[in-house]
Amino acid sequence: MNFKERKTMLKQMLEEPVSKYTDHKLLAVEHNVTVSDAAKEMIENKVDSILVYENDDVVGIVTNKDILSEVVAKGKNPNKVKIFEIAHKPIIKIHKDSSVKDAIALMNKHDVRRLIVENDARTIGMISQKMIVGNMGKYAVQLPELEIPGKIKCPYCSSFFDDKNILSKHIVNIHVAKGPSEYMCPYCYSVFEDKKTLSGHIDDIHIGRGLLEGNIRKVTV
């Protein structure tokens, strides 16, 4: 496929309806559940975001990064913080017949990476920047926000490191604030009594084993 053909196909993709790229598998919890319980649901269902409901209405969305930055990094107790407290709200919605180009514009306007897809005022799914970028990759489009070959990305600040040991020390020393006598893993939310044990867990279980951003796995330690 030459450049002209790729350009034409990319243009066609941008005009396609968002319904073609919508993820209809949605996970939702009530607004008053704890962050800990919501995180367990995310791990079990292998998703990187969860919708927050109140009175049968979607009132917010929480991602794995929100849990890292708003709870783990600040040393808060995930068993006490309610999911609604860290949810992004209001959520941004788009109609299923709107174009992919419109979705990108809306994400840029509101500085978000996910949109709720609706049909007749009913939530039917979600479209994310990752879904769009992943499909653009077929047409050799540059991906501005993803990985640098040979580097490992910090899940908190997106800084890149050459070595997994340096990254694990960076996470523990810079980002993982100490909570009430425990440290929490930023990948799987397991808790540990000290930095050394947490650092070893990150090295052994998560870093260097193909973990991509948003890929949360439940592990036994």
52-72 pLDDT tens trace: 999 878 889 999 889 988 998
Instruction: Delimit the CATH 3.10.580.10 region(s) of the chain.
Output: 3-139
pLDDT of residue 212: 31
**DSSP H helices in the chain:** 3-15, 35-45, 64-67, 100-110, 129-136, 164-170, 195-201
pLDDT of residue 180: 45
CATH fold group of domain 152-206: Double Stranded RNA Binding Domain (3.30.160)
Instruction: Yes or no: say if 134 and 127 are a contact pair by the CB < 8 Å rule.
Output: no
pLDDT of residue 220: 29
Burial 159-195, CB ≥16 within 10 A → b, else e? eebeebeebbbbbbeebbeebeeebbbbbbbbbbeeb
Residues 3-139, CATH architecture? Roll (3.10)
How many alpha carbons lie under 13 Å from residue 36 in its C-beta half-sphere? Answer: 9
DSSP, res 26? -
Flag the least confident range among 13-22, 127-136, 184-193: 184-193
pTM value is 0.57
Strands 57-63 and 122-128: unpaired
